[in-house]
Structure 1
Amino acid sequence: MPPESSANKTSVEERLLASIDLIDATQACTLLRIETDDPEGVLQAMARGGAIITLTQNGRTIVPLFQFDTELGRVFDVVLDLLKLRPCRISNLRLAYWMTRAHVDFGGPPADRFGKDDAAIVAAFGRYIEPVRHG
């Protein structure tokens, strides 16, 4: 059987993005109660300031919905803590992956525990990013 064409394979990034609830820049600004004519510019500025996780899909800025406290219309404080702690070698995509995959400490994804177990999430992320040292 011939190997499947690489053009037909879905990339890892595409599969990951498909597994996360994502909203576009306009929806994010609405959720955050930000009125603007340039929602993508606003979110990109917030991302540069370490205030939000943004991703890119087909050239458009998108954001994972899990980072928002939809009742209060804001980004969860723990997301800001994780962004401050995150080393530059961890991309937004990899951070989103870590937040949405089952974790032994929480019995599910850390993102499901935002606003409830924030200190434990920050501690678990600290262990995740700790460099491996061999004696």
Structure 2
Amino acid sequence: MPAEIPTNKPSAAERLLATIKMIDASQACALLRIETHVPERIIQDIARDCAVITVIQNGETVLPLFQFNTASGTVFEVVLDLLRLRPARISNLRLCYWLTRAHVDFGCAPADRFGRDDAAILDAFRRYIEPELQG
């Protein structure tokens, strides 16, 4: 009889999201100094305008904390640029993966360099999204 495959093993997405500090819509609105009684709707509107990265974790919309400049209460400008550059084939989850994994250009994750190496991050992302052409 074949061995049973465990069904409670976390997915790759769950394992990735477990490594990233997340905040919920209420916390994001507080960080951005937005007063509202409907934070989820506000954050969804902001995300629809490609102004923040959101992902679904355990059925809830959450935001990676790394995209926020907590000192100024804003989203790092490079995040807005990355979201504008991102092709449709790159999901928010895949973008989070790219931003939080060590990159050869930086010796650390690109998100760790937000606000300091923005031009280099954008250049590295452009190379990452460049279509592969067969020789």
What TM-score comes out, normalization by structure 2 length? 0.96
Can you list the C-alpha shifts for 1:25-73, whole angstroms capped at 9, x where unaligned?
1001000000011111111100100100001112211000000000000
Mapped partners of 1:106, 1:20: distance in 2: 19
User: Cα offset for 1:3?
Assistant: 4.9
Mapped partners of 1:22, 1:3: distance in 2: 33
Q: Where does residue 26 of structure 2 map in the other structure?
A: 26
Structure 1 runs of 4+ with >3 Å offset: none
Can you list the C-alpha shifts for 1:84-133, whole angstroms capped at 9, x where unaligned?
00000000000001000000000000000000000000000000000001
Mapped partners of 2:40, 2:126: distance in 1: 30
User: Cα offset for 1:2?
Assistant: 2.8
User: Cα offset for 1:4?
Assistant: 3.8
Please state whether the residue corresponding to 2:83 is helix, strand or coil. Answer: helix
Instruction: Kindly report which structure 2 residues correspond to 1:68-107, keeping only aligned pairs within 5 A, or say none.
Output: 68-107=68-107
Q: Which 5+ residue runs of structure 1 have no aligned equivalent?
A: none
1:2 and 2:19 equivalent? no
Mapped partners of 1:80, 1:4: distance in 2: 41
Q: Where does residue 58 of structure 2 map in the other structure?
A: 58
Q: Which 5+ residue runs of structure 2 have no aligned equivalent?
A: none
State the AA in 1 paired with 2:131.
P
